Structure 1
Amino acid sequence: MIHCEGLVKIYKAADLEVFALQGLDLRVETGEMMAIIGNSGSGKSTLLNMLGGLDRPSAGSLAVDGKDMLKMSEPDLVRYKRESVGFVWQNNARNLIPYLTALENVELPILLRGRRKRMRALELLEAVGLTHRKNNKLHQLSGGEQQRVAIAIALANQPKLLLADEPTGSVDSRMADQILDLFREMNRTYGITIVIVTHDPHLAKKVDRVVAIRDGKISSEMLRKRSYAEELAELERGAAPADPGEDSHVEYAVLDKAGRLQVPAGYLEAIGVKDKNKVKLEVVDGKIVLTPPEEAS
């Protein structure tokens, strides 16, 4: 579904150039549900904007659903945003129109494409568990209910890709669990590819793959030891739940095409390589070993 290679994004402000992405490589399979995490300023929201056609890369290649995002004309880009991708934002003001009811909010994007709106909108509200709130306006809905309406809106035009930017950032942990479970259900039911951008490590318990961005590049990937679906199936068979203290994922450093990787600062500090730009690299018993540089005598 998504293929990024050597993706670069440069923002210019006055005489300054800011590199938001610095040669990022990423593949996301069709039907996958995955998360992208990273600190503020790491480039994760910039990547999401480019996947959604809201911004264009400065260099590199980016293809979504077989479409070359760098070569798209403006009319093609508008069509892509209307037909191929759905958005869920943390800020509900970007998702919902306050003077419309929940049903009318979901009907609007369907109406813009000339489809039969009422039946489709009701089906989507039922899918997110809000049929009983269909006639309520924004101020009459809780934060979690508003976010569920936003998910219904994002699915209104049957997109192949759903992008969610901090979708659980404005709700409590219980509602966050419900929203993430809803994403999982939408993923299973509709086969839609879902990419969630977040800084919340709690998401790792709900998705099978988590990609970490640091300094505009993919630094590591975390893969589940057992898929989330397998764990749910075991619980349904009566198996004991996993120990909450046990790591559910295995983290792998990501090599770029030149064989480079980003070593987390904590690892370097642990071996005494703080405020240095060199390490000694050796192969010992079939393992690559990093050690601090030898001090000059």
Structure 2
Amino acid sequence: MIHCEGLVKIYKSADLEVVALQGLDLQVEEGELMAIIGNSGSGKSTLLNMLGGLDKPSAGKLLVDGKDLLAFRERELVVYKRETVGFVWQNNARNLLPYLTAVENVELPILLRGKRRRERALELLEAVGLSSRAGRRLSELSGGEQQRVAIAIALANRPRLLLADEPTGSLDTATTHQVLDLFRSLNRTLGITIVIVTHDPLLARQVDRVVGIRDGKTSTELIRRTSSTEEPDGRNQPDAQPDSETHTEYTVLDRAGRLQIPAGYLEAPGFKGGSRVRVELVNGQIVLSPPDTESPDG
């Protein structure tokens, strides 16, 4: 569904240049439910805007649903945003019109297609569990209910890709779980690909895969496995509990052979950012060690 290769984004203002993405690589399979996490300034929102056709990369390759977004003209981008992708924002002011009811908000994007708009809007509200609240204005809905209306709006154009930018950032813990449960349900029942951008690493427990972005590059991945009794190569873990959930963390090696070491690892004795590191191939494994450490084989 998504193929990013060597993605670069540079913002220019007068004599100032800000590099938001520095050769980012990313693959997202069709029908996947995944999250992109990172601190402020890591480039995650920039990536989301480019996936949604709201911004263009400075260099690299960006394919979504087989479409080359770098080759799009303005009219093609409008069609892409109308037919391929749906957006859910953290700020409900970007999703909803406060003087309309829930069903009227959902009807609005359906006007572009012009058919069965009330019937379709009611179907969508039922899909997000709000059929009984269709006639209520936004002031009569809770924050979680408003976000559900926003999700219904994002689904109005039957998108193949749903992008959510901090969709639970303004919600309490209980409501956050409800919204994430809804994303999982929609992913399974509709088969829609969902990409959630967040700064909360605990979201990893709610999705199948988490990609970490640091300094404009893909740095780590967390893969959830519902059965922890097997390793990725098929070997059994003797101490693991069957049918339990676990996450395996991977560091991403880019096409140039570069990788980012998780920040916590740099606290080990002899390691620090900007220092030299000994790299050796030992028994088929790549071993990193401080420059004054002897080789692990003796």
**What's the TM-score once normalised by structure 2's chain length?**
0.90
Residues 266 and 273 in structure 2, CA contact (< 8 A), matched pair in contact too: no
Residues 90 and 168 in structure 1, CA contact (< 8 A), matched pair in contact too: yes
Partners of 1:58 and 1:220 lie apart in 2 by 23
Question: Is 1:278 aligned to residue 246 of structure 2?
Answer: no
**How much has 1:285 moved relative to structure 2?**
3.6
Q: 1:5 to 1:113 in 2, by over 3 A?
A: same
Q: Is the partner of 2:49 in helix, strand or coil? A: helix
Match in the other structure for 1:208:
208
**How much has 1:136 moved relative to structure 2?**
1.1
Residues 144 and 179 in structure 1, CA contact (< 8 A), matched pair in contact too: yes
Partners of 2:48 and 2:29 lie apart in 1 by 16
Q: 1:240 to 1:217 in 2, by over 3 A?
A: closer
Partners of 2:73 and 2:99 lie apart in 1 by 34
Partners of 1:278 and 1:27 lie apart in 2 by 31
Task: Write out per-residue CA displacement over residues 177-219 of structure 1, whole angstroms, 9 at most, x where no aligned residue.
Answer: 1101100111111111100001112211111111000000100
Match in the other structure for 2:149:
149
**How much has 1:38 moved relative to structure 2?**
0.5
Task: Write out per-residue CA displacement over residues 107-166 of structure 1, whole angstroms, 9 at most, x where no aligned residue.
Answer: 000012212201100000011111111111111111000000000000011000000000
* Amino acid across the alignment from 2:257: G
Residues 211 and 218 in structure 2, CA contact (< 8 A), matched pair in contact too: yes
Partners of 2:21 and 2:226 lie apart in 1 by 31
Residues 167-206 of structure 1: pairs in structure 2 closer than 5 A:
167-206=167-206
Question: Is 1:40 aligned to residue 71 of structure 2?
Answer: no
Q: Is the partner of 1:23 in helix, strand or coil? A: strand
Match in the other structure for 1:52:
52
Task: Write out per-residue CA displacement over residues 39-87 of structure 1, whole angstroms, 9 at most, x where no aligned residue.
Answer: 1100000000000000000000101111110010101100111111100
Between the aligned residues of both structures, percent identity stands at 73
In structure 1, the gaps of 5 or more residues are 229-238
Partners of 2:243 and 2:143 lie apart in 1 by 30
Residues 1-297 of structure 1: pairs in structure 2 closer than 5 A:
1-226=1-226, 242=244, 248-294=246-292
Partners of 2:154 and 2:140 lie apart in 1 by 20
**How much has 1:241 moved relative to structure 2?**
8.4
Task: Write out per-residue CA displacement over residues 222-256 of structure 1, whole angstroms, 9 at most, x where no aligned residue.
Answer: 1112279xxxxxxxxxx9985xxxx7200001111
Task: Write out per-residue CA displacement over residues 245-286 of structure 1, whole angstroms, 9 at most, x where no aligned residue.
Answer: xx7200001111121111123212213222543111123343
Residues 109 and 153 in structure 1, CA contact (< 8 A), matched pair in contact too: yes
Residues 271 and 291 in structure 1, CA contact (< 8 A), matched pair in contact too: no
Q: 1:185 to 1:90 in 2, by over 3 A?
A: same
**What's the TM-score once normalised by structure 1's chain length?**
0.91
* Amino acid across the alignment from 1:111: L
Partners of 1:201 and 1:276 lie apart in 2 by 26
> How many residues are treated as equivalent by the alignment?
281
Q: Is the partner of 1:112 in helix, strand or coil? A: coil
Does 207-216 or 271-280 show the bigger shift? 271-280
Partners of 2:178 and 2:204 lie apart in 1 by 15
Partners of 1:115 and 1:3 lie apart in 2 by 33
Q: Is the partner of 1:249 in helix, strand or coil? A: strand
In structure 2, the gaps of 5 or more residues are 229-240, 294-298
Partners of 2:73 and 2:203 lie apart in 1 by 36
Match in the other structure for 1:231:
none
* Amino acid across the alignment from 1:23: G
Partners of 1:156 and 1:80 lie apart in 2 by 14
Residues 208 and 227 in structure 1, CA contact (< 8 A), matched pair in contact too: no
**How much has 1:292 moved relative to structure 2?**
1.6
Residues 61 and 70 in structure 2, CA contact (< 8 A), matched pair in contact too: yes
